[in-house]
């Protein structure tokens, strides 16, 4: 496996001449590349026989640095791993996940990396559809595209250019491929745990039979004027019931003043228990470190390692000038030969610890890729 990572702003693109059917090119970029796609089109022209994937971000990750108005690029040419690439419209999220999984599910499938439009998909339904088809042994990771804190328009690369309302997924096949994964949060819960008394899919209407938006505004105080962006500072922790030790985090995408509802990036099932969360700087950084530890692959034998870091835009807003601390924390744990790219997202896709994937919000998730 050969690996090169590139950070592009306004400099001429320096791309390796590794075009082949076994080359995977990942591109994570600023939202404005939708309207000015020249650099992305140049990458696609440079790799006509390769698989080019990517999406918009709320900040581009390159090793331990965070950038805006840039592209973070990884070019991987595998020796033995083969690649298959599929697309689906970002509609009927469960059916989309099911269709993608059926298209990619064949012998020797080791992993799927999926990127989706960040605003027009229910991430929970997408991964549930994939899980309904795939065996537990297939590692599924990825994320939902971002648009800074604007929540206006996101894009995914399709046919070599940025497009909205699209889901892109690659299947990776072969016995020599090694994929590690890790996902951790680091938020503190506060206030009472409440019952979701009315919801539909990813729309929350009532908590403890009270209007959800009204209750949320009570906790946010003056910050409620900045919704939905300020809601990223106060995500929800969800548990299926009081005996469930597994907690999934959900973050706000939109609010509806008339319905007094909140729309989240993933499902908020009726009957679940919900509790507000707030930031703890040190624990957020430690969560990133734990995610890296979970993703460590002991089978790496000195060859190149790519770390794909996908962290939530809410973490960036909270950490502010300390955002790069969590990026440094990941690379401090991973092997010295590791190169890292990634993006800040509207949702992270990864197994909770092992087994089937989940949609996460407000987490740092890592996917490590290497080849024997």
pLDDT digits (tens, 9 = 90+) for 201-248: 999 999 999 999 998 898 888 888 888 888 888 889 999 898 887 788
Q: Is the pLDDT of residue 196 over 80?
A: yes
Over the chain, what is the mean pLDDT?
Answer: 92
Q: Is the pLDDT of residue 299 over 70?
A: no
pTM, to two decimals: 0.87
The 3-state DSSP class for residue 110 equals strand
Residue range 126-133: mean pLDDT, rounded: 96
Q: What's the Cα-to-Cα distance from 212 to each of 150, 189, 258, 260, rounded to whole Å?
A: 22, 17, 12, 6
* Beta strand 194-200 pairing with 109-116: unpaired
What's residue 38's pLDDT?
Answer: 95
Residues 6+ apart with CB under 8 A from 330: 288, 289, 291, 292, 307, 309, 340, 364, 366
Beta bridge partners of 220: none
Residue range 146-151: mean pLDDT, rounded: 90
What's residue 230's pLDDT?
Answer: 83
State pLDDT tens for residues 255-280: 999 999 999 878 899 999 999 988 77
Residue range 142-149: mean pLDDT, rounded: 94
What's residue 221's pLDDT?
Answer: 86
Residue range 156-179: mean pLDDT, rounded: 96
The number of beta carbons lying within 10 Å of the beta carbon of residue 260 is 18
What's residue 5's pLDDT?
Answer: 97
State pLDDT tens for residues 73-122: 999 999 999 999 999 999 899 999 999 999 999 999 999 999 999 999 99
């Amino acid at each position: 496996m050969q690996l090169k990572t590139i950070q592009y702003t306004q400099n001429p693109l320096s791309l390796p001449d590794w075009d082949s059917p076994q080359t995977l090119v990942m591109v994570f970029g600023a939202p404005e590349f939708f309207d000015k796609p020249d650099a992305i089109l140049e990458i696609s022209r440079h790799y006509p026989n390769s698989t080019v994937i990517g999406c918009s971000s709320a900040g581009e990750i390159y090793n331990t640095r965070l950038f805006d108005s840039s592209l973070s690029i990884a070019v991987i040419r595998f020796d033995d791993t083969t690649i298959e690439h599929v697309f689906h419209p970002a509609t009927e999220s469960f059916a989309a996940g099911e269709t993608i999984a059926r298209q990619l599910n064949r012998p020797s499938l080791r992993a799927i990396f999926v990127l989706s439009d960040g605003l027009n998909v229910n991430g929970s339904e997408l991964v549930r559809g994939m899980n309904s088809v795939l065996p537990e042994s297939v590692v599924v990771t990825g994320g939902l595209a971002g648009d800074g804190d604007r929540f206006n328009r996101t894009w995914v690369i399709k046919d070599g250019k940025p497009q909205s309302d699209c889901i892109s997924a690659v299947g990776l096949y072969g016995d020599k491929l090694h994929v590690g994964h890790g996902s951790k949060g680091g938020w503190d819960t506060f206030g009472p745990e409440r019952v979701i008394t009315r919801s539909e899919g990813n729309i929350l209407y009532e908590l403890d039979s009270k209007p959800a938006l009204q209750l949320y505004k009570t906790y946010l105080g003056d910050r409620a004027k900045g919704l939905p962006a300020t809601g990223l500072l106060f995500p929800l922790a969800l548990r299926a019931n009081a005996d469930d030790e597994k907690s999934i985090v959900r973050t706000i995408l939109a609010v509806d003043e008339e319905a007094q509802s909140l729309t989240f990036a993933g499902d908020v099932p009726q009957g679940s228990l919900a509790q507000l969360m707030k930031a703890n700087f040190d624990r957020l950084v430690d969560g990133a470190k734990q995610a890296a530890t979970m993703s460590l692959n002991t089978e790496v034998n000195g060859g190149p390692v790519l770390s794909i870091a996908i962290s939530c835009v809410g973490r960036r807003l909270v950490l502010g000038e300390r955002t790069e601390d969590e990026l440094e924390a990941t690379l401090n744990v991973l092997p010295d030969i590791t190169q890292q790219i990634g993006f800040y997202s509207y949702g992270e896709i990864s197994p909770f610890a092992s087994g089937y994937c989940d949609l996460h919000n407000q987490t740092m998730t890592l996917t490590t890729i290497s080849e024997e």
